[in-house]
A and B are shown apart, each in its own frame.
Chain A
Amino acid sequence: MGKVTGFIEYQREVASRRPVAERVNDWFEIYQPFSYEKVRTQGARCMDCGVPFCHTGCPLNNIIPDWNDYAYRDRWKDAIRVLHSTNNFPEFTGRVCPAPCESACVLGINEPPVAIKLIERSVIDYAFEQGWIKAEPPEVRTGKRVAVVGSGPAGLAAAQQLNRAGHSVVVYEKADRVGGLLRYGIPDFKMEKHHIDRRVALMEAEGVEFVVNAHVGDGVPVEELRSKFDAILVAGGAEASRDLPVQGRELKGIHFAMDFLPQQNHRVAGDPVAEAVSLTAEGKDVIIIGGGDTGADCLGTSHRHKAKSIHQFELMPQPPADRSPNTPWPLWPLMMRTESSHEEGGQREFGIATGEFVGDANGNVTALKTVRVGPPPTFTPIPGSEQEFKADLVLLAMGFTGPVKKGLLTDLGVELDGRGNVKTNEQYMSSVDGVFAAGDMRRGQSLVVWAIAEGRKAARGVDQWLMGESKLP
């Protein structure tokens, strides 16, 4: 329970980011080391609440107070035991999760919340350092075979769970490496990719089979899976990017974020990127449309590319500096957030809409015509606020409209819900018997932590369907 009076005695402290001037020159993770001793002090701030809102604030229902306490008590082995009991991959969430748990932290009502994310990351890092994390192959195999399509966090979590339940699991990944958006969406400065490799190696040792460069529904026929496996779980993400169909959209230099970011991950991984398709912000006037996390990732990447100027547009008005009264505790607060990429530079524009892309004779984008708009839901344009922004690279980071339907989903013939996601029952099974769905493909674009939670729940559904009952959590 931490220290009874810890929250009164100690202040919140988290790992500080490396100096901007330093970090924009490399692709390493942005955080400076933080001693485990200091992590323990942060654990002491946990109040061990009777109703730990963090525990439900977290989609995985991580039993946060317990491992906070263990960290405080220097009982790291117990801490990782409890942490792993709800979260297959804390090394991912401990780095990239926006930590809704911290927004729900009771201490956050009137003090800075407990540094839960820092503690989580420290617990798993420590456990790896100590060599405690080992493959756990199942003792008994059920003889059932499950195909998991997609190796993002949802697919990986489901695969690990199903494998531990004794099923034989094969994970299909269309890319050349395992990891999905973890691998090719999130920049290395937020999470270095060796974390994924390490985990995948463990899973392979546990008996999970990975097949890469295997695009199910495009090259790998769906029928093949149906015949070879007792169940199929699709976790292919929500990869259909939202577009901005305004005049000039066809101009060159306008790209989806997801065309831009994976390239950089390949580069860092040492893969060659074909000159013809290579995108870089170097020396360019960059405009990122979309004020969310993907936008911020584009921003950080552009900084590292040494862009000439960068603007990030957001349609919504500028949020308040502190928690908005419309999102009272313990809700995820609407408030102005300054991510590491914002620290590194660039200009943020709020309440702005792009009306037109302007191009030059060569069909290259040169500028954006914008107008300031009022608040939602009408976003009424403000007369006289028209403005033009110079741009030679525009990155569209406005989120995703849902999963790609063509191929996998159409071939499987699964029913979709009103939002275009795969419709499932409570056991995560789609309209097609034996075909399950999880992650962004089922719930639409969301957080890594949600993906893991979905993967776990879907695994339970699959197990239940295969075995009649399930003891998976």
Chain B
Amino acid sequence: MSNNQEEFQVVRGLPPAQGLYSPANERDACGIGFVVNIHGHKSHDIITKGVQILINLTHRGACGCDPETGDGAGLLIQIPHAFFARECAKIGFTLPPAGQYGAGLVFLPVERTARLLVEGVFERIVREEGLEVLGWRDTPLNVDAIGRVARASQPYIEQIFIRGASGMSEIELDRKLYVVRKRVEHEIRASDIRDKDFFYVPTLSCRTIVYKGLLLAPQIQKFFKDLADPECVSAIAMVHQRFSTNTFPTWPLAHPFRYICHNGEINTVRGNANWMAARQAVMASGVWGDDLKKLLPIVEPGGSDSATLDNAVELLYLSGRSIPHVMSMLIPEAWDADTTMEAEKKAYYEFHASMMEPWDGPAAVAFTDGHVVGATLDRNGLRPSRYLVTRDGLLIVASETGVLPVKPEDVTMKGRLQPGKMLVVDLDQKRIIPDEEVKKSLWERQPYGEWIKDNQISLERLPEPGRVYTTDHETILQRQRAFGYSDEDLKMILAPMSEKGEEPIGSMGTDTPLACLSDKPQTLFHYFKQLFAQVTNPAIDPIREELVMSLTSYIGTERNVLDETPQHSHLLKLEHPILTNRDLEKLRRVSWGDFLAYTLPILYNVHGGEQELERGLDSLCKRASWAIQAGYSLLILSDRGVDENSAPIPALLALTAVHHHLIREGTRTQVALIVESGEPREVMHFCCLIGYGASAVNPYLAIETLDNMSATGRISVPFETALKNYKKAVNKGLLKVFSKMGISTLQSYRGAQIFEAIGLNKSLVDKYFTGTASRIEGVGLEVLAREAKMKHEHAFHPVTESDVELMPGGNYQYRVRGEYHLLNPQTVSKMQHAVNAESYATFKDYSKLINEQNEQLCTLRGLLQFKPAQAISLDEVEPAKEIVKRFATGAMSFGSISKEAHETLAIAMNRMGGRSNTGEGGEDEARFKLLPNGDSKRSSIKQVASGRFGVTANYLVNADELQIKVAQGAKPGEGGQLPGHKVDDFVAKVRHSIPGVGLISPPPHHDIYSIEDLAQLIFDLKNVNPQARISVKLVSEVGVGTVAAGVSKAHADLVLIAGDSGGTGASPLTSLRHAGIPWELGLAETQQVLVMNDLRSRIRVQTDGKLQTGRDVVIGALLGAEEFGFSTAPLVAMGCIMMRKCHLNTCPVGIATQDPALRAKFVGTPEHVINFFFFIAEEVREIMASLGFRTFDEMVGRVDLLTMRDVQHHWKAKGLDLASMLFNPPVPKKVGRRCVTVQDHGLEDALDHKLIELAKDALENQTPTQFVLPIRNVHRTVGGMLSGEVAKRYGSEGLPTDTIQIKFNGSAGQSFGAFLANGVSLELEGDANDYVGKGLSGGRVVVYPPKNSSFIPEQNILVGNVVLYGATSGEVFFNGMAGERFAVRNSGATAVVEGVGDHGCEYMTNGLVAILGETGKNFAAGMSGGIAYVLDESGAFCKTKCNRSGVDLEPVESTNDINALRNLIERHVQLTGSPRGKWILENWGDMLTRFVKVFPHEYKRVLGVAKRETPYFVPATQGEQVLHG
């Protein structure tokens, strides 16, 4: 091992930002759990059980490059007083009675002098705070128990014991200890003590203590010897197993933190942290007095999202709120749109919403203060959390069921945490407090409702203004020009929004220059790119899951967050952020309580250029500060009044200047910022303004433009309608953008800065966009001033008639005077001529156009050049036929493109040895067979996307690669929709759906809400087809490298980094242009981060995104890619002429259409495609020869051969600096820079090997076989590999029903029965975790509780979340309840279950579901096919639970329905022995009337059944509720 290597290994903590890596992007997810004795009995057994839970959750964690070093694990327990007393006595000091001293674990520098210095500081501060250090204790450790990397980075771990002052209560002592800890932290951080970064205090409290570290679960009890001591006792053991996206050794980031441990991700953490900092200025509290100052800053820098959340919890809790109170304030349930919630509870939430924005994101949080312990789930319920209670008072909560062995007869209750709900145990009261009671005790604290009624303001309550601005048609054109409006803005953006109330759709990605490279003046908004959720957190569906979304916000002066008074609700409630002129005038003239508005002009003297712009901004900030001092609570930033000399400051710049100025000044929360601007017009503009802190926006020029367009007939609707539609479209667009990031509410999006800047320089970003990633430098105020000037000139110095028009735009459609396009008439036709005539010379003409166009500045790769190298002869270079094997065509689904086009691509790629991709839409099984001429139409890459259309076991086994599409370049974070009219018979057959019924792909994969879920899906797919490599498709954004590292740790074989520009499918224009970043950046970041983590050597990297020439490929290789995807270019080779009308089904060349008449016009051939790829490969070879590479492999990752071209001549590009993109991490040679080994998928341990062995005879000879096996939660994807074997042998037909029957006993792990094939029947006595029957492909799964259980099955949770996701056929019977999202995207399976959670049957397109009990909220959202029968005893289902926007509810009265339902229940009883089923059958006559048939409109339409005229309600229940069978 070289010294260099040594140095690399002992690095502690996250490395500093370098290249494109930033520690701020790190993510983690995990398994959590706790076990608690409800009666408060302390025992060592609880600790052992806690550790056992951890061990059984090991698969939810991960380990890095060192298999013995985990990402972190930890345990929180009550202070084991007796044990500590004994131990401390041994080392010479005596502990006072429990509760009168605090104990803490302290991480210290290993080096002795440094350690003593830190200890010295600690002791001094303890004294200064009036406490007394009793002593230090070396925490007994067994360092041999942990991994090499962990050991190398391990801090010195001591315990400190501190005596409280006399008479202090526990909480008082904990407050003081908090002050001590904060002070020590601040002081050490500011000191220059060597190795101070070792220093960290995991915990310092008189009630609880945390043991944690860079451990694997099984190591924890060995490493911390304390935990193995029988005298070490606790009634609580809270545990956490971490899965991080990196391999950097970070001891402090292990959970639990002081009060919480967290599974999920706080998406809004950047905004939350900013707002917390802003609030500090007005914090005050009697419990702190002057101590409060010592606590600041509340949020520790460099913490993870969970650590930041813990910081907030700690402050709010210690300031006097109960811990459930704090949790419900930070992570409130979805109350806004809930019509059934009690008014008082709503008032409680509303009151707190005016004080604190939600900390939003998928989260299961366990919390405790040592007396109260509990767990809560975010509003969307996106993390699993299961619990059970035993007869002897044990409560076990964990991410999974089955983590501790419990005798069935001892279980009194099994449940799951529900979205927004809280499970609380009070050890003092010795009982579980149900959610309703917890919340009731909270809302009863104060008359919140009255406070709101008396103090809250709304727009409606404000008096009508005397005068309102109206449209000035005379000057509108001039002003449109001054604000840079283009003709396209009117035609492509405003017209559709105002006519249809929806954002416009486009196709074929983008091929225009980045804003920082464009010669056209841009709006500042366009230098930003939206971030979006991928893998580490899920996107939300804002349409189908509208109930969690909210645009409501409360604006005005925020009060002291540590207090609650009626004045706290003296805020203005806005239903949405778009203000009409009338709304704005109301606010401008407001005088109500503290509300006073002040208008700040945001204009500057355009002739003064950059200096004037900067001066304008500075004086704007000064005036804002003055206005706050003067007592104004609303600041309106207005650019009205543009004239000959005054140009508008870019609205976003004016806003952020003020926003960040006020944050720095500490006054930000005292005012709301409102933007009155002519600039914002499209959704992206509003997103930017809100994302950077605006409370509301009045887009007056957009509004006037609508009026003008209506008056001149450019739109067909009257102005009032247009405005209404426009607001609706903007609001929908906003929700869509929030939801892409997994954010549900406007309040938490506001100021969250969910953007990355491309091409803004550092000084600009640091000053005005503090905290935003901007990684390649770029333009500053000078260019922004110049752009403003260009627009201003265009407005005020028009010359000719033709020039009086708006600029053409040309962003969405090519225009000569508009924006530049890579795919233009010249390049498209040259390429087609080349492939048609098989002319490499013509191809070179084409590639020269593209490559030299690059030099005209369009893309980042265009800014690069190759360094001179020793050239070799072309003959020595690897042949083209080898290079083309690295090429793949992109995921274009059959359905989006025609059968002819899809099959042509497949044949071409198969002939070349490249890979074609099914896309999301299944594949006709006929294509799996070879054609007589030896050609094959089988796509070697089978995509698994969120819709799971046609994803069956047989589909999976007929693949060489299984690609999990997490995101796509054209619309990352969004799902798709195939309208019913495009689903013809054949498309429907392939997708396992019903012809004519529309299909929705959900925004997230409902089985991937975090990184460990992805690992599970990879494991599932690998089980079904162990020969296929598994790839994961990501889209470039800041932090994608970190996600890719997580993907590598999740054992994917290949990661695909897609660029933002690609995309052949239809997408909202906002997403098409403004989400995601170029592949060059994403790829470079991926390569850098993978190499830094030593994760690159086991994963291949592919990139795509408008790759067009051999030069593009070589640049991709040098930046780190081994393989390359192409979509647009091969389509053009087959005749695509970039109509960009794919979404309209009118493709005139027969590619993106299903219309038979148009398909007949398709003239593409496999030869066209093959010619194209060979031309590309030939060009690659030429460049390789010039660079001296003989083989492609040598070239991968050789970023040192790239350098940036001199672009000093270009007014914008000259500011760019690509050094971070070309950064080469300084790691030793032995760290692989390309893939040289394979992933360990851990398949050897799969239970299925045993199943296959036992079922050998059945597999080979179809002999019926039965056997029985025990099962545990660590056995995952049981049945998957077996099903793969069945499919390989028998195709989709499978085996005859019940050929293989297996009975299990125990708790099954995740994905039980996934992709189960025809002929395989699984029976489980016990319970099961998430994803039961995922992708069910004809098999049968039966689950029932142990026969000797004492609980009532239908009231207890039996199977987890997301059961039957994407099932295509088969059946399941569950004698118990299921979790959230039961039968989501079911397209053919039959199911009987006795209760389900929220979002049941979501996006279901076919199949039959019977629910013999209660359902959660939002049932049938997005359901377009199939039937569900629901037993609605209370009537609640019809009234509130079912989302009726797409379904009718009907009585079960036809003979067919009655027979079907009865038959289902009879089989259910027969297979599970369900008592409830029996009881229903016994009372059939009565019960039948209480069943409701859920019948989707679309399905009805296709079946030719008329829609019901009158809504159906089950008659209100007569008499007593019937609950028990």
Q: Report A's interface with B, CB cutoff 8 A.
A: 4-5, 7-8, 47-53, 55-57, 61, 63, 65-66, 75, 78, 81-82, 84-86, 104, 106-107, 109-111, 136, 161, 164-166, 328-331, 470-473
Contacts and interface: CB of A to CB of B under 8 A. Distances in A.
Interface in B799-845: 799-803, 805, 808, 812-817, 821, 823-826, 828-829, 832-833, 836
B403 to A, nearest CB: 55
A50 B808 CA distance: 14
A328 B833 contact: yes
A82 B805 contact: yes
Q: Which of B507, B802, B808, B821 has the most CB of A within 10 A?
A: B802
Contacts of A470: 799
B800 A51 contact: no
Contacts of B1139: 47, 49-51, 106
B797 interface: yes
**Which bucket holds chain B's interface residue count?**
35 or more
Interface in B1152-1188: 1155, 1157-1158, 1161, 1163
A166 B797 CA distance: 12
SS of A interface (majority): loop
Given A328-B836, A329-B829, A51 B802 contact: no
Nearest to A111: B1148
A79 B1138 CA distance: 24
Given A52-B813, A328-B833, A164 B1137 contact: no
A85 B805 contact: yes
A106 B801 contact: no
Given A4-B1144, A51-B828, A51-B1137, A164 B813 contact: no
Contacts of B812: 50
B821 A51 contact: yes
A57 B487 CA distance: 21
Given A7-B1148, A164-B801, A471-B803, A51 B814 contact: yes
22 contacts: A8-B1155, A47-B1148, A48-B813, A49-B1138, A49-B1139, A49-B1141, A50-B507, A50-B1141, A51-B823, A55-B825, A56-B824, A61-B817, A63-B815, A84-B802, A109-B1135, A109-B1137, A109-B1149, A166-B799, A330-B825, A471-B794, A471-B797, A473-B802
A4 B496 CA distance: 14
Given A8-B1157, A84-B802, A106-B1139, A50 B825 contact: no
A84 B801 CA distance: 8
Contact of B816 (A50, A55, A75): A55
Q: Which of B799, B803, B817, B1158 has the most CB of A within 10 A?
A: B799
Nearest to B801: A136
B805 A50 contact: no
A4 B817 contact: no
Contacts of A50: 507-508, 812-814, 1138-1141
Nearest to A459: B800
B1146 interface: yes
Contacts of B829: 53, 328-331
B816 A106 contact: no
Contact of A471 (B799, B813, B815, B836): B799
Nearest to B800: A164
Contacts of B798: 471
A48 B823 CA distance: 16
B1146 A4 contact: yes
Contact of B832 (A57, A136, A328): A328
B1137 A53 contact: yes
Given A52-B814, A53-B1137, A56-B816, A85 B802 contact: yes
A81 B714 CA distance: 13
B360 to A, nearest CB: 37
B713 interface: yes
A165 B799 contact: yes
Contacts of B713: 75
A30 to B, nearest CB: 31
Contacts of B1135: 109
B799 A472 contact: yes
Contact of A51 (B507, B794, B813, B1148): B813
- Return the 4 tightest CB-CB contacts between A and B, nearest first: A50-B1140, A85-B802, A61-B816, A471-B799
Given A85-B802, A104-B825, A106-B1137, 6 more contacts: A4-B1146, A8-B1155, A50-B1140, A85-B805, A165-B800, A472-B800
Interface string B1130-1142: 0000010111110
A471 B821 contact: no
Given A50-B813, A61-B817, A106-B1148, A56 B825 contact: yes
Contacts of A164: 799-801
Contacts of B507: 50
Contacts of A109: 1135, 1137, 1148-1149, 1161
Q: Which of B713, B803, B828, B1137 has the most CB of A within 10 A?
A: B1137
Given A4-B1144, A55-B816, A63-B808, A49 B802 contact: no
A108 to B, nearest CB: 10
Contacts of B817: 61, 473
A8 B1158 contact: yes
Q: Which of B487, B803, B816, B1135 has the most CB of A within 10 A?
A: B816
B459 to A, nearest CB: 37
B802 A55 contact: no
Nearest to B805: A85
B1149 A110 contact: yes
Nearest to B1163: A110
Contacts of B1157: 8
B1148 A471 contact: no
B1146 A8 contact: yes
A86 B803 CA distance: 10
Q: Which of B801, B821, B832 has the most CB of A within 10 A?
A: B801
A455 to B, nearest CB: 13
Contacts of B826: 56
A55 B1138 contact: no
Interface string B906-936: 0000000000000000000000000000000
A75 B715 CA distance: 11
A61 B507 CA distance: 24
Interface in B700-715: 713-714
Nearest to A463: B799
Nearest to A110: B1161
A82 B804 CA distance: 11
B1137 A49 contact: yes
A169 B829 CA distance: 41
A38 B836 CA distance: 37
Interface in B754-805: 793-794, 797-803, 805
B133 to A, nearest CB: 73
Given A8-B1157, A164-B799, A471-B797, A55 B1149 contact: no
Contacts of A52: 813-814
A70 to B, nearest CB: 10
Contacts of A106: 1137, 1139, 1148
A54 B1140 CA distance: 16
Contact of A161 (B800, B815, B833, B1148): B800
Contacts of B821: 51
A47 B813 CA distance: 12
Contacts of A84: 801-802
Contacts of A136: 801
A82 B1161 CA distance: 32
B825 A51 contact: yes
A109 B836 CA distance: 14
A328 B828 CA distance: 12
B800 A5 contact: no
A239 to B, nearest CB: 30
Nearest to A54: B825
A470 B793 CA distance: 12
Contacts of B508: 50
Contacts of B1163: 110
Contacts of B825: 51, 53, 55-57, 104, 330
